[in-house]
């Protein structure tokens, strides 16, 4: 972890010379969590307007059409309304000036007036319009070649009501595609799906660098352990030995603390690379991370950085096949990371440092409680995830702020749940998280991330990483032990599923989640981990799940309803089978894919398209069955099916009991999981 304030680049407000105070003309309204620094964009527009006014020079607004009122007069009229406490009358004027600026390509002017409007709507609690204009302001600043709207996006996200539902599902082709890169080829050490759990423990007095203690302290062996090394110093062999003892991989944050100048393809680099190969364990090498911030000795010159990263990557790739190169910027500042990207040929994994803290810059006067870790991954994920696996190379949630000796347990639990439950479900290409397990007592932001310092945090962390989706062994193509991943909750599921909600409300704090299935409340939760499990038998055809979100006042703050549907499963000799065409229920009867199950039972199947008849043979038994007929023939003897065979999705479907018993199986039905259970006779 490089020495600096984690959020120093979020931006600071410029002087509010012409806009000294927020309008509170909406009677009795007090905007929620509206503290200095809580997400407003840089307000250089204020200084620009003030300077213009002082100089008596007209704003750079579009030309005035014949008979139209001059833009400067309109601006003054809007300002008079604002000062009279009638800002709602100023808003349409500002909107008109904003649209005029947009039409003329005067993005600076458009951004200025969008900023006036978003702050007004924010102040009166009209969050939907506030979000709209915050996003417009950011867009205008970007078109003007400036990143001054970055914090407008932060504020927009803080105000956004979000309710999303994800669900676990067994591995199939669609799930594998969602987790795979666009090329289809996994990167070095990339799991097919699932997420590696990692930890930085060096400053944890109980664990230190004894990585083999992770299971006893944190409930599970971790897949990777983070260590820091300085460029120019010998390869950190002691960390390798500790990782070997723990049966894990190593993430090395390799830092050129003296700057990039001495980085060269020389004897030192080659020897270091050979030592890494000799280590004989998977290594994720994060060279010169957080290069996009101004707190590192290797930031600033993007061209020089790219040149040096490529030198290191070429040496590592040629000397150490057990090492994956990780390129890892910080999640802040926004909009500048891509200019430091070395290129796909030099990068195996893309990482990011991403911390979730109650204060900006560790300053208790600048609340960040409304910001979640979720949206802060969006920029990097949208740029690289289609072709590179993504890791949170450093991440943590602060549960205590040493600056004011204040506990933030509710904030921390809510966001730890989002980090380890929501993010893997929402971002399928996120495949590793390393938790930065440190108490920064008197350093930098002075946040306490150390899990053992908070019993509730420790207990939740243990619960979250116990999920089978979390991986404890680094191996290319690795998968969760239960062969289960995530997808949209509205996708049909088989057997059982776990619903994972992502909830964000402007009130910040979630009082209660209420799960309502087909009009009946089936569960309520007041604290993380959020989510419920459902069996297929609980979800009849046409089901709907509603999630009701209550704030701490007991008021419904948001709702979300999704259709739910479950599939019929088939288990043969204890193994759940996967079919191109799953079983279906028609008129109360379960129809199963005839060819697939007959072949699993050892029979050979042929199809006569002219007569639409399937014929199966095994030993001395022959079975024929025609589409549309409710009678099949076994060695010429008629057998009543109960319901006719039919084509579904191009597949021959017949009653499951007939299909399972014809070649010697016994068939039972598990209604809880909606599973046809077939046991073959030995």
Contact 322, 285 (CB under 8 A): no
Say how far residue 293 (Cα) sits from the centre of its chain. Answer: 23
Cα separation of 237 and 230, whole Å? Answer: 13
444 has catalytic annotation: no
In 339-452, where do the E strands start and end?
Answer: 349-356, 359-360, 363-367, 390-397, 400-401, 406-407, 430-436, 447-448
Q: Does an H or E element contain 561, and which?
A: strand 556-564
The residues facing 535 across adjacent strands are 496
Three-state secondary structure readout of 101-166: HHHCCCHHHHHHHHHHHHHHHHHHCCHHHHHHHHHHHHHHHHHCCCCCCHHHHHHHHHHCCEEEEE
CA distances from 357 to 291, 376, 404, 417, 656 (A): 21, 12, 14, 14, 55
Token couple for 404: 């004011």
Distance CA 608, CA 624 (A): 10
Q: Which of 381, 378, 301 is nearest to 340 (CA)?
A: 301
Whether the CB-CB separation of 434 and 393 falls below 8 Å is answered with yes
Is residue 290 annotated as a catalytic residue, yes or no?
yes
Distance, in Å, from the CA atom of 676 to the CA atom of 665, rounded to the nearest integer, reads 12
Q: How many CB atoms lie within 10 A of CB 439?
A: 20
Q: For the chain, what is the total number of helices (H) and then of strands (E)?
A: 17, 37
Pairwise CA distance, residues 487 & 453, whole Å: 34
- The structure tokens 């949170």 sit at 392
Cβ–Cβ contacts within 10 Å for residue 95, how many?
A: 16
Cβ neighbours of residue 163 under 8 Å, at least 6 residues apart? Answer: 501, 502, 503, 547, 549, 558, 559, 560
Catalytic residue among 79, 394, 444, 577: 394
**Phi and psi based region of residue 664 (left: phi greater than 0; alpha: psi -120 to 50; beta: remaining):** left
Smallest Cα–Cα separation from 647: which of 557, 581, 567?
581
Can you read off the two tokens belonging to residue 534?
Answer: 């459902």
Q: Which of 102, 290, 366, 577 is catalytic?
A: 290
Strands 224-230, 195-200: pairing kind: parallel
CB of 172 within 8 A of CB of 432?
A: no
- Residues assigned a catalytic role: 290, 394
């Amino acid at each position: 972890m490089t020495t600096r304030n984690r959020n120093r680049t979020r931006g600071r407000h410029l002087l509010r010379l012409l806009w000294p105070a927020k309008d509170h003309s909406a009677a009795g309204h007090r905007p929620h969590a509206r503290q200095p620094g809580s997400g407003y964009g840089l307000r250089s527009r204020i200084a620009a307007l003030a300077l213009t006014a002082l100089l008596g020079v007209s704003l750079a607004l579009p030309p005035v059409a014949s008979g139209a009122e001059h833009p400067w007069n309109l601006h003054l009229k809007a300002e008079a309304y604002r000062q009279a406490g009638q800002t709602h009358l100023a808003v349409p004027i500002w909107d008109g000036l904003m649209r005029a600026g947009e039409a003329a390509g005067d993005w600076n002017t458009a951004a200025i007036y969008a900023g006036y409007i978003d702050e007004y709507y924010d102040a009166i609690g009209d969050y939907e319009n506030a979000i709209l204009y915050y996003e417009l302001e950011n867009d205008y600043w970007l078109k003007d070649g400036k990143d001054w709207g970055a914090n407008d996006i932060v504020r927009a996200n803080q105000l956004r009501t979000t309710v999303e539902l994800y669900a676990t599902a067994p591995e199939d082709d669609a799930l594998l595609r969602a987790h795979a890169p666009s090329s289809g080829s996994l990167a070095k050490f990339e799991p097919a799906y699932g997420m590696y759990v990692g930890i930085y423990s060096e400053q944890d007095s109980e664990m230190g660098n004894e990585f083999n203690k992770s299971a006893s302290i944190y409930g599970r062996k971790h897949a990777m352990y983070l260590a820091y090394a300085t460029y120019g110093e010998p390869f950190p062999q002691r960390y390798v030995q500790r990782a070997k003892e723990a049966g894990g991989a190593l993430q090395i944050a390799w830092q050129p603390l003296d700057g990039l100048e001495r980085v060269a393809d020389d004897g030192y680099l080659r020897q270091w690379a050979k030592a890494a190969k000799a280590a004989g364990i998977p290594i994720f090498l994060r060279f010169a991370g957080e290069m996009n911030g101004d707190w590192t000795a290797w930031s600033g010159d993007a061209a020089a950085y790219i040149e040096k990263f490529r030198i290191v990557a070429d040496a590592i790739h040629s000397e150490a096949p057990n090492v994956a190169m990780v390129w890892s910027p910080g999640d802040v500042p926004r909009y500048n990371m891509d200019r430091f990207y070395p290129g796909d040929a030099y990068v195996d994994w893309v990482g990011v440092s991403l911390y979730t803290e109650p204060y900006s810059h560790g300053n208790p006067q600048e609340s960040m409680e409304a910001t979640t870790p979720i949206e802060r991954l969006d920029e990097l994920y949208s740029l690289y995830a289609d072709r590179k696996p993504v890791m949170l190379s450093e991440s943590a949630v602060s549960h205590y702020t040493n600056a004011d000796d204040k506990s933030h347990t509710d904030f921390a639990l809510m966001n730890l749940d989002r980090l380890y439950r929501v993010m893997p479900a929402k971002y399928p290409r996120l495949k590793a998280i390393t938790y930065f397990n440190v108490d920064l007592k008197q350093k930098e932001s002075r946040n306490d991330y150390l899990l053992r310092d908070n019993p509730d945090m420790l207990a939740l962390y243990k619960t979250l990483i116990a999920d089978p989706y979390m991986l404890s062994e680094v191996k290319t193509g690795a998968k969760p032990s239960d062969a289960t991943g995530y997808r949209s909750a509205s996708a049909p599921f088989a057997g059982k599923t776990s619903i994972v909600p992502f909830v964000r409300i402007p009130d910040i704090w979630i009082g209660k989640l209420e799960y309502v299935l087909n009009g009946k409340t089936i569960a309520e939760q007041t604290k993380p981990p959020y989510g419920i499990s459902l069996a297929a038998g609980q979800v009849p055809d046409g089901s709907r799940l509603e999630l009701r979100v209550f704030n701490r006042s007991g008021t419904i703050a948001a709702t979300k309803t999704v259709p739910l549907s479950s599939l019929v499963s088939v288990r043969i000799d204890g193994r759940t089978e996967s079919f191109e065409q799953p079983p279906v229920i028609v008129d109360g009867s379960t129809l199963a894919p005839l060819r697939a199950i007959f072949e699993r039972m050892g029979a050979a199947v042929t199809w006569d398209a002219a007569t639409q008849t399937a014929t199966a043979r095994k030993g001395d038994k022959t079975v024929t069955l025609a589409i549309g007929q409710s009678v099949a023939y076994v060695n010429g003897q008629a057998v009543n099916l109960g319901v006719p065979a039919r084509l579904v999705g191009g597949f021959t479907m017949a009653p499951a009991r007939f299909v399972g018993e014809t070649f010697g199986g016994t068939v039972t039905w598990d209604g809880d999981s909606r599973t046809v259970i077939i046991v073959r006779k030995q």
